[in-house]
């Protein structure tokens, strides 16, 4: 039986600026997304027919309504026959954490089935299929560093950060619904300066961690700090522990801090080790 394994990399938002709400319920955004080394493992193997999904985390949905199932179902339509798949997901990315674990798994499933059955679908078409399932998925077809805009499905990739950026990520141990966050966000409160994104792009090109830290921004932070004050506490703790800057990723609640280098990342963790059950050192990819 043919089998293929993929790493599903998480992402952080170095900038997430929510601009306005669309008539279809989605929001126009501009965001700089960055893949990080924290990942799930997705194993896909041949099956005569049907879709079978298993996961090592009991709370991850695996039925026909799950994003993973819908991703498999959508790309299997491209097969000539009645092929099916077995999918095994080994989770390391926390659930509902702002790190897009579900979206990166879906992208791995699209890419994996395409390769498993030699469908020959190019990356542009895979991004299009992914965009029909979720706005973050097109980014994960290629990963790396990118500006996401429109509803998040339009992607412009940059060269990867060189040398890699070292981050400390901390999850407070509770989940946040992306739907709830967007429904409760007041976009009129946004205060992102117009040149912030251009400054961030320049900082990324130069691989300057200080300048990257200086230009972090997330529209959801004020809302989340009011609802869950512990997110602001974790951000402050990271900075006190030596991070150049810290930010919440996505709609939260995971916070990441930017370290000067790998050694500084380990020093930050040493100072932070009692602050959270989930704390990891990661790097950009």
- Active-site residue set: 11, 136
CA distance linking residue 155 with residue 144, whole number of Å: 11
C-alpha pair distances (Å), 149 with each of 17, 29, 50, 106, 139:
10, 5, 35, 20, 11
**At residue 25, what are phi and psi to the nearest 5 degrees?**
100, -20
3-state secondary structure of 237: helix
Whole-angstrom distance, CA of residue 40 vs CA of residue 215: 29
Length of the chain: 285
Q: Which residues contact 245 (CB under 8 A, 6 or more apart)?
A: 212, 213, 214, 216, 239, 257, 258
């Amino acid at each position: 039986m043919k089998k293929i394994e993929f790493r599903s990399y998480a992402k952080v938002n170095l900038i997430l600026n929510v601009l306005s709400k669309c008539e279809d319920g989605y929001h126009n955004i501009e965001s700089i997304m960055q893949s990080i080394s924290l990942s799930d493992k997705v194993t896909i193997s041949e099956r005569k027919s049907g879709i079978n999904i298993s996961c090592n985390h009991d709370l991850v949905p695996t039925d026909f309504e799950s994003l993973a199932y819908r991703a498999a179902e959508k790309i299997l339509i491209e097969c000539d026959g009645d092929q099916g798949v077995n999918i095994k997901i080994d989770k390391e990315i926390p659930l509902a954490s702002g790190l897009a674990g579900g979206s990166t798994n879906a992208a791995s499933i699209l890419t994996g089935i395409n390769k498993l059955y030699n469908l020959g679908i190019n990356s542009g078409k895979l991004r299009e299929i992914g965009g029909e399932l979720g706005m973050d998925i097109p980014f994960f077809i290629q990963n790396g560093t990118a500006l996401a805009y429109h509803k998040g499905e339009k992607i412009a990739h940059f060269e990867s950060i060189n040398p890699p950026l070292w981050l400390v990520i901390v999850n407070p141990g509770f989940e946040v619904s992306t739907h709830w966050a967007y429904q409760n966000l007041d976009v009129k409160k946004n205060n992102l300066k117009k040149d912030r994104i251009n400054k961030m792009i320049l900082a990324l090109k130069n691989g300057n961690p200080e300048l990257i830290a200086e230009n972090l921004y997330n529209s959801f932070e004020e809302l989340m700090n009011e609802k869950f004050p512990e997110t602001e506490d974790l951000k402050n703790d990271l900075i006190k522990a030596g991070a150049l800057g810290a930010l919440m990723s996505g709609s939260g609640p995971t916070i990441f801090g930017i370290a000067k280098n790998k050694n500084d990342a380990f020093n930050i963790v040493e100072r932070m080790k009692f602050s959270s059950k989930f704390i990891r050192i990661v790097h950009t990819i």
